[in-house]
Structure 1
Amino acid sequence: MALLLQSETDFGLSLLRQQNLSESLVFSPLSIALALSLVHVAANGETRNEIREALVRGATDEQFEQHFANISAALLAAEKGTQVNIANHVFSKSGFSIKQSYLDAVKKLYNAGASSLDFSDKEASAEAINKFVRENTGDHIKKIISADSIKEDLVAVLTNALYFKADWLNKFKKESTFKREFFSSEDSKREIDFLHASMVHRSYAENDQFQVLSLPYKDETFALTIFLPKTRFGLADALKSIDSATIQHLLSNVSDTFVNVRIPKWKIETELGLNEALQSIGIKKAFSGDADLGNLADGVFVSAVTHKALIEVDEDGTKAAAATTVSISLKSAMFPIDEPIEFRADHPFLFVLSKDNHPLFVGLHH
């Protein structure tokens, strides 16, 4: 179990390090992993091994499948007003035959539905995929694919949508929200709304690099954890050296502490193309002319992986949503003390939204 948590955290950190670390962003390692697990079922040989190793190092194919099936089930069992929705779907080009054994397998493992679309009607096809994403993200992600990305050689779009909405276990009082300065860099600051809670007991930990505040939701298996660098503009450096073991250690070692909390009220939306990032963490074959996705169809490869995510944090709780699409194309087209501890998140920090310490969303607030 610890191994799996560490692998997932590694995957999230590796993807994070591929991004521009000097601006706000959010993504869902889990949504990306679930979309890639649909590719894992399609893949054989080295193509399959690379996906498995990048996501869950050291696991067997069966453990990999069991792991993502289990996480999905655990998330969908959220309670106490915490809403989680996960949906997987295979959209294929009408007239192109995807192996029935593939569709049966993704249905059984990941509850993935399937439908065929007339890709020659690009507008209608894009709208069908976008509608699926809207419906499964509480209308938060309105568009993941554009009509012009539906090219001649596209045969399938594997899609994952993930939505999370929950109230804090301890809500922030609206009358305690004030504008204060947030310092994004030495020479850049702005006034934003901050949520405040004074002289309260909250889950807290620290090490030499970070102050860590974990805020649980009503279903306390879910939490938002803020990793605030002790060095004011030290986030980029801290991210270079922090590893998944440290993150998991901090997540599991928070304890009830007397604190003053000041964190931003925030909303971040990010859109990422992941082809390069995924290749640089070892998923290479799937994107190449040597791709073996033979369980889905012969002569195809992954032409694009796109991801969109958003998170909104306010007095009452959090809403977060993500969608990931994997485009499959024909190969022909290649390319504690008495004083409360001050937790004042007024400079850039890392955040992780987790379920039982499994990272669902990861991001930076600048």
Structure 2
Amino acid sequence: MLFKLGIVFLFAIHRIHCGEVHMGDDTESSQEQDVVQVESTGNEGDTSNPTSTAPPLKLTTSTNPPSSILAIKPTAPEPIVITRPDIGKFHQNQRLFSGDLYHRVLEMAKKDENIFFSPYSISHALGAVNAGARKQSSIEIKEALKMPNFSADLMNALFKFVTDDKFSDKEKTDVIAIMAARSFIQKGFLVNQNYVDTLQLYYNNGIERLDFAKSKNATSRINNWVESNTNKLIKDLIPEGMITALTKMVLVNVLYFKAPWESKFLELKSETFHAPSGKIKVPYIYRKGTYRILEKNDVIYVAVPYKDKKTYFFIMMPKNDKAMKNFQRKPNIKREFRFLRMSITQRWKPKSVALFIPKFTTEQSLDMKKVLKGMGVNEIFDPINADLSGVSKTFLYVSDFVHKARITVNEEGTEAAAASAVVMSARSLSKNLFINRPFTFGVFEESGDLLFVGKMLNPTP
């Protein structure tokens, strides 16, 4: 299975001021800590005493960024302490955010439209924006992320800890998960040093200077970076004309995930799938084995393990239209996502079945500006009221936020990629289990976070 995703932020200027390099005279900015000291890395919800402490990160600061590639390393006087309960709450909040996000995208989707996106990529992007947002702009982001009581310092540190833990580049034989990030900044544009430091330390961003007045060249450079980091699955993330002379920053993150099924499936000839438009014939994959399964309230739940046996491809398939309507109600969706970790590991019981899953490939582009406005994030998109003063003394706002994702499921496993751009500017089942109706699906890993989530209505290989 192979997943890749990228996310891009593009900050467009609202009004031009002669700013100066600003080291954080904003109240919240001046308190930012650039040392992360993890008090504990235990399991979610474990409140026992910590047994280990990670060493502080001590780095030096460069105050005069060069015109192209930057290598600014931040420094801070004190560590930030992350506790086990903090980590547990962060993971739970990620699932709550995923449920809200899924419901909102579902509301906006066309009747027969497949859905696919990466909740973690989007939340990581919002975390990077929040690091430079202030007052109401920050409040709205934190409420959408279900972290209203988290300080900016704690949120930044948690994103770093979880991202490093989840997407490290350490060698793994079964599962590879890597996240890369880069910030593209207009040449000569003055950015608050604290914000650059925060992006580099907490969001693992490399820094590069571009001339956005040369729109085609800048667009090509960023798109090529995204494409090369998604195995060429995500192309032309930023459309022509999105970057203009008013663009001041583009923040990009790319996630790479690769894992095979625990056991390879076999490919079958076409079988029937009950799409919204009627019965269609699509290729299936098949394997007899033991899977975690639950059947409840006319919904079938299945978790298919990958090679590491810690990461799952999950399926939630309502058995009829009435069950689908009930399943998609917002309170029910939120509950399913919130308790997904507990459900898969405790409630979905191992059962031996012959499992049939349709092969499919789907790609979706999302206008996250519309999605997030429906979730209460409005001010950062307002060219008059947006407060991104933590980024620069120049008045900035987010003019666009786009997300693009692609996934393929076949007998070998899954291949997926995603990219986003923010522009500032238990009953026993029958022996054979067919996934032959519209279903919600996603990729879940042991921390409880959803790396990807979607809904399949019309499977097409």
TM over 0.5: yes
Match of 1:47 in 2: 137
Match of 1:193 in 2: 283
Match of 1:320 in 2: 416
> Pairwise mapping of residues 1-366 of structure 1 onto structure 2 (< 5 A)?
1=44, 3-19=89-105, 20=109, 22=111, 23-61=113-151, 62-77=153-168, 79-174=172-267, 177-185=268-276, 187-198=277-288, 200-232=289-321, 234-241=323-330, 242-247=332-337, 248=340, 249-252=342-345, 253-288=347-382, 289-298=384-393, 299-329=395-425, 340-356=430-446, 357-366=448-457
Larger mean Cα displacement after TM superposition, 258-267 or 237-246: 237-246
- Alpha-carbon deviation of 1:21? 6.0
| TM-score, normalization by structure 2 | 0.73
DSSP-derived class of the 2:309 partner:
coil
Check 1:41–1:343 CA distance in 2 against 1; reply closer, same or farther (3 A cut). Answer: same
Contact residue 80 and residue 218 of structure 1 kept, 8 A = no
Distance 1:193 1:59 in 2: 48
| TM-score, normalization by structure 1 | 0.91
Match of 1:332 in 2: none
Check 1:25–1:338 CA distance in 2 against 1; reply closer, same or farther (3 A cut). Answer: closer
Q: CA RMSD in A?
A: 2.1
DSSP-derived class of the 1:140 partner:
coil
DSSP-derived class of the 1:147 partner:
coil
> Max radius of gyration: which structure?
2
CA deviations on 1:300-343 (whole Å, 9 max, x unpaired) are: 111110000011111111112111121112xxxxxx78874543
Contact residue 167 and residue 318 of structure 1 kept, 8 A = yes
Distance 2:429 2:216 in 1: 60
Contact residue 6 and residue 244 of structure 1 kept, 8 A = no
- Alpha-carbon deviation of 1:10? 2.5
Larger mean Cα displacement after TM superposition, 17-26 or 118-127: 17-26
CA deviations on 1:3-31 (whole Å, 9 max, x unpaired) are: 43332222222222233163212000111
Distance 2:299 2:92 in 1: 19
Check 1:203–1:103 CA distance in 2 against 1; reply closer, same or farther (3 A cut). Answer: same
Larger mean Cα displacement after TM superposition, 17-26 or 232-241: 232-241
Unaligned segments of structure 1, at least 5 residues: 330-335
Distance 1:282 1:339 in 2: 42
Contact residue 215 and residue 245 of structure 2 kept, 8 A = no
Letter in 1 for 2:411: E
CA deviations on 1:196-234 (whole Å, 9 max, x unpaired) are: 123x21111232142111111112221110001122574
Check 1:6–1:292 CA distance in 2 against 1; reply closer, same or farther (3 A cut). Answer: same
Unaligned segments of structure 2, at least 5 residues: 1-43, 45-87
Distance 2:313 2:427 in 1: 24
Contact residue 26 and residue 361 of structure 1 kept, 8 A = yes
- Alpha-carbon deviation of 1:67? 2.7
Distance 1:316 1:277 in 2: 33
Letter in 2 for 1:258: S
Distance 1:182 1:10 in 2: 31
Letter in 1 for 2:158: H
Contact residue 360 and residue 408 of structure 2 kept, 8 A = yes
- Alpha-carbon deviation of 1:57? 3.0
Match of 2:72 in 1: none
Letter in 2 for 1:191: K
Aligned residues: 356
DSSP-derived class of the 2:194 partner:
helix
CA deviations on 1:103-157 (whole Å, 9 max, x unpaired) are: 1111100111111111111111011111111122122112210231112322111
DSSP-derived class of the 2:236 partner:
coil
DSSP-derived class of the 1:257 partner:
strand
Distance 1:91 1:264 in 2: 40
Check 1:365–1:215 CA distance in 2 against 1; reply closer, same or farther (3 A cut). Answer: same
Q: Percent same amino acid among aligned pairs?
A: 27
